[in-house]
Amino acid sequence: MWDHVDEADVVLHAGDVVTGDLLDEIRARRPLHAVLGNNDHTLVGQLPDRLEVDLAGLRVGMVHDSGARDGRAARVRRWFPEAGLVVFGHSHDPVDEPGVDGQRLFNPGSAVQRRRQPCRTLGRLEIAGGHLASHRIVPLP
């Protein structure tokens, strides 16, 4: 399918895909890692609740709902003790902040529903040499 795919080409979806058709469309274009969201009723059993993957030597944890803001950093550290980066969703509120013991917490927001945010967003991550080289929330028009 791909002659060459570098880590920048991987899509991480933190849940609420809603339909398997979207997963198929993304997979036709890019490698994909996705977790089950609370609105993914038809995908129960097809997507994991939590996932850990290795991308370019960096352990990445993924979960849809990281729970309440209070205590989040310690909670996701317990869930993903080896991960240098944890990607989560659910709230539609972009988050890009340090967690516990050097772990990075990253919620890209939502490219579809902005809810309380001024605009829709997505996240861009660059991983190189086992480290998170850059991370940013990207506003969408």
Segments making up each domain of the chain, as ranges: 7-139
Closest CA to 122 of 104, 135, 133, 134: 135
- What pLDDT shows up at residue 47? 95
| Burial label, 29 (beta-carbon count in 10 A; 0-12, 13-18, 19+) | exposed
- What pLDDT shows up at residue 17? 87
- What pLDDT shows up at residue 5? 42
- What pLDDT shows up at residue 1? 27
pLDDT along the chain (141 residues), means of 10: 50 91 92 94 95 96 96 97 96 92 94 79 93 94 87
- What pLDDT shows up at residue 2? 31
Going by CATH, does the domain composed of 7-139 fall within 1.10.260.40?
no
